[in-house]
Structure 1
Amino acid sequence: MRRWLRQHRYALAVALRRLWLHPFSSVANLLVIALTLALPLLGASFLAAAQPVVKQVSISPEITLFMATDAPRGATESVAKTLADNYQDHIEATRVVPREQALATLKRNPNWADALAVLPGNPLPDAIIVTLKNTDDLAAKTATLTAAWKALPDVHSVQHDANWVQRLAAILDFVRIGLGMLAAGVALVVLATVFNTVRMQALTQREEIAVARLVGATESFVRRPFLYLGALTGALAGVCAIGIAWLALHPLNQAIANLANSYGTQIRLQLPDGLWLLTAIVGVAVLAALSARWSVTRNTRF
């Protein structure tokens, strides 16, 4: 056991010495990998911040019927009963929102309170919010029902306002797939960079490796410092990538805060949790070590 630990300490020391003896190439390789790794980290931060916003907004298929402001008393309940009786196969739930309730809700919003205070009366109509059952032909069914409900008596307008949320969810799915492809590209960059770094190291120390073999060094002993070199490069690049992403989040948060405030919401980008970041660093280190093993195996056959 002591012999095994001594060999690994020696291999780690050799790898650190090789990094130290070639500072320019080491820093260049670290920056290339770190900048590449920072991109999916920023993308993951964006997805983590956007997911709660999407969850807060209902993406259920809803249609809102706005009644005429001069509709007689009881017209809203009558239309709601007509919908429940005649379209029960398509409707999951129906909710009536009286104009007084809608006005009170808006007054609680400071952005609307001052404007509503100067109005002589209540300009809002009664509304009926209808939640449809989810089906495969939802888009076509929604268009048909919207056209039919516009013709109901005392109905002023019909609005289907969930389309943009469904588009947003689709965009997030697209971004998630794009991040997966970007992660695959990052893995290739890590493999190529570490492979080339170890290749140059192996070719530089060609004679040293040959002498070590002549005196009885095993292949594991020859390869081990290169494996540590690859793993250290990957781990250090992962730490640098986290630092770069953390620095980039400050100006991004300032910009996105101004945009979110204009929509009356708050969004803050932040890095994933510590366990996720630690797993990412370990994963990059393992990937770099595998690339180093592949490279040293191919380039020390002499």
Structure 2
Amino acid sequence: MNPLIRQHRYAFGVTLRRLFAQPFSSLANILVITLALAIPLLGAAALMSLRPVASHLAADPEMTVFMKVDATSAETDAVADRIRRDHAGEIEDLRTVRRDRALADLKANPAYAQALAVLPDNPLPDAIVVTLKGEDLAKRSEKLAAIWKTWTKVDLVQVDSAWVQRLEAILRFARAALLFLAVVVAVAVLAAVFNTVRMQALAQREEIGVARLVGATESFVRRPFLYLGAVSCAAAALAAIGLVAVVLDPLNAALADLARSYGTEFALRLPQWEWLAAFVVGVALLGALSARWSVTRNTRF
């Protein structure tokens, strides 16, 4: 067997023995890291689940293209067909509101009926209501409005940007908050592993001293501690995934009624397995990094 593989195998075995030698301390440390990791993981699940349904809330991302008053129905239909043809990939829905229908709807409202009754002609234009889909709606809606305004017989393009900017601001805030939370959790994990490895190094002080006297290298001495940090954090990451998976069931039950009130189906789901695998590996590497830092500082004796 390759000597390097044999050394890693020995270090891994030493790590497991040390973990099982102090089961209560090991479980308590893993539990603390698990709870810390579960919070950003739950936030990531919520954010990733929200993104596909954000555009299907009650406040749909709409733009209204107002035609000139003298535009005919054929010219309005031509503009609507051009929008469908040129921007098919960006449009969720498109409908045309005829000027006569718009006037009838206003007259049905008592607040406007008396004022409209004295008008000799219909002052309202035809309108084309376009529902967008996808992401980055604010910038895209402004770009589309600038294009459509230049078309023949188009008088005005109104962008319902207030809710778009509000929605994207909420998502940006959620991403920033999640990033900040991830940084805080990373620091907490570093501190927990650093302290655990420090306690282990001090407890193994005599053993490390004897190993150095018989010729053990620094890598040989430190390797079990690196495995200790990596194994503890990997176990905590897996436990955090399991904990979040369990917590999502009651959360989804509570969210079901709220989602139905918006006319949609929404449920929180864990990210895809590739993302979760990267999460476990990243946390394990973070634990190994913290362990190396700790053992370097606390085995200089």
Asked if these proteins are the same fold (TM beyond 0.5), I'd say yes
Deviations 1:190-227 (A, max 9, x none): 11000000000000111111011111111111001101
Structure 1 260/101 Cα, relative in aligned 2: closer, same or farther at 3 Å?
Answer: farther
- The alpha-carbon deviation at position 170 of structure 1 amounts to 1.2
**Mapped contact 1:206–1:300 kept (Cα < 8 A):** yes
- The alpha-carbon deviation at position 2 of structure 1 amounts to 2.1
Tell me which residue corresponds to 1:108.
Answer: none
- The alpha-carbon deviation at position 163 of structure 1 amounts to 2.4
Work out the CA distance in 2 between the residues paired with 1:244 and 1:184: 21
Tell me which residue corresponds to 2:52.
Answer: 52
1:235 maps to a residue whose letter is: A
Tell me which residue corresponds to 1:38.
Answer: 38
- The alpha-carbon deviation at position 55 of structure 1 amounts to 3.9
SS state of the match for residue 268, structure 1? coil
SS state of the match for residue 142, structure 2? coil
- The alpha-carbon deviation at position 166 of structure 1 amounts to 2.7
2:96 maps to a residue whose letter is: V
1:97 maps to a residue whose letter is: V
What's the C-alpha RMSD, in Å, of the aligned pairs? 3.7
Deviations 1:245-292 (A, max 9, x none): 101101110111110011111111100011110111001001100110
Q: Tell me the number of residue pairs that the alignment of Structure 1 and Structure 2 aligns.
A: 248
- The alpha-carbon deviation at position 61 of structure 1 amounts to 6.3
Unaligned runs of 5+ in 1: 66-73, 85-91, 103-124, 139-147, 150-158
Greater displacement, 52-61 / 248-257: 52-61
**Mapped contact 1:77–1:96 kept (Cα < 8 A):** no
Tell me which residue corresponds to 1:10.
Answer: 10
- The alpha-carbon deviation at position 75 of structure 1 amounts to 8.7
SS state of the match for residue 271, structure 1? coil
Tell me which residue corresponds to 1:295.
Answer: 294
**Mapped contact 2:256–2:266 kept (Cα < 8 A):** yes
- The alpha-carbon deviation at position 165 of structure 1 amounts to 3.5
What does 1:119-130 align with in structure 2 at a 5 Å threshold? Answer: 128-129=127-128
Work out the CA distance in 2 between the residues paired with 1:269 and 1:100: 45
Work out the CA distance in 1 between the residues paired with 2:205 and 2:100: 85
Structure 1 261/196 Cα, relative in aligned 2: closer, same or farther at 3 Å?
Answer: same
What does 1:236-251 align with in structure 2 at a 5 Å threshold? Answer: 236-251=235-250
Work out the CA distance in 2 between the residues paired with 1:268 and 1:195: 37
1:262 maps to a residue whose letter is: S
Alignment of 1:189 with 2:197, yes or no, is no
2:260 maps to a residue whose letter is: N
Alignment of 1:276 with 2:284, yes or no, is no
What does 1:155-166 align with in structure 2 at a 5 Å threshold? Answer: 161-166=160-165
Tell me which residue corresponds to 1:134.
Answer: 142
- The alpha-carbon deviation at position 54 of structure 1 amounts to 2.2
**Mapped contact 1:63–1:160 kept (Cα < 8 A):** yes
% identity of equivalent residues:
56
**Mapped contact 2:8–2:223 kept (Cα < 8 A):** yes
- The alpha-carbon deviation at position 128 of structure 1 amounts to 2.1
Unaligned runs of 5+ in 2: 80-86, 103-123, 131-139, 147-154
Work out the CA distance in 2 between the residues paired with 1:286 and 1:100: 67
Tell me which residue corresponds to 1:122.
Answer: none
2:215 maps to a residue whose letter is: G
